[in-house]
Amino acid sequence: MTGTDLDWQTRLEADGYVLLPAVLEAREVGEGLAEWDEVQKRNAADPAILTGAGGHVSGARNLLRMWPGVVGLVRRPGLLDRLAHLLGPEAGVVRALFFDKPPGNGWALPWHKDYNVAVRAHGPTGRFSKPTTKAGVPHVEAPIDLLERMVTVRVHLDEMTDENGPLRVIPGSHRNAHGADPVTHLPVVIRCRAGDVLLIRPLVTHASGHCDPNTTRHRRIVHLECAPSRALPDGYEWFDFVPLPET
């Protein structure tokens, strides 16, 4: 990679996130939305499909099981090579989620960091802690040194504007795993187009607000968590692990 190519990595390490424009073409965005529509129809009764008022789908868990082809979103030219550069040759996708804020059914999330990972079974607590179960899948809070090496890929299937409850982040907050975030860094609103991809470290403090009640926009995002290796300490195993390069 050239020096210019590495600018994105400099921003990722400094701020904890970086926006990559136009990773997906309009045609690919349309194909992704069509695939998702079929997936949610086939799995409408699955508790991993999250619905709000009126039955509108607002999110989904366990996408790697119900939509195996979703991994193709991280194998796009210009994205896979960046992930391989960040995570190494043994990297894989370990969890995939779907988010939407349907018109008239928006939701908000307070400031938080992403500590939880999906595992095959609950095991000894210590470095892993706070066992929970989400949509039938065991989760635990992961060790900080593991979270520091992971990266989340957020693929935007809609434009994200002030109307539809955009993501807000605190730059540099990934350096404060459990402590207070730097007061010198004010929150930044992420606005982007459909087809753009956000790379973000799990320990970045982030939130999102409510949509404008009059908006007609969706805010559909596929959220894919990537780890550098299949191996986990203390006898733990990932619930899912799909290698990044297609085998």
pLDDT digits (tens, 9 = 90+) for 57-94: 999 999 999 999 999 999 998 899 999 999 999 999 99
Number of domains in the chain: 1
3-state secondary structure the chain: CCCCCCHHHHHHHHHCEEEECCCCCHHHHHHHHHHHHHHHHHCCCCCCEEECHHHCEEEECCHHHHCHHHHHHHHCCCCHHHHHHHHCCCCEEEEEEEECCCCCCCCCEEEECCCEEEECCCCCCCCCEEEEEECCEEEEECCHHHHCCCEEEEEECCCECHHHCCEEECCCHHHCCCCCCCCCCCCEECCECCCCEEEECCCCCEEECCCCCCCCCCCCEEEEEEECCCCCCCCCCECCCEECCCC
CATH number at 42 reads: 2.60.120.620
Reported confidence tier of residue 183, pLDDT bands at 50, 70, 90: low
Does the residue 121 lie in any domain?
Answer: yes
Does the residue 13 lie in any domain?
Answer: no
Does the residue 153 lie in any domain?
Answer: no
pLDDT digits (tens, 9 = 90+) for 39-63: 999 999 999 999 877 778 999 999 9
Does the residue 11 lie in any domain?
Answer: no
Reported confidence tier of residue 6, pLDDT bands at 50, 70, 90: low
Structural domain for 210, as ranges: 21-148+159-243
Does the residue 154 lie in any domain?
Answer: no
Rounded to two decimals, the pTM is 0.94
Does the residue 124 lie in any domain?
Answer: yes
Mean pLDDT of 209-230: 95
Does the residue 2 lie in any domain?
Answer: no
Does the residue 5 lie in any domain?
Answer: no
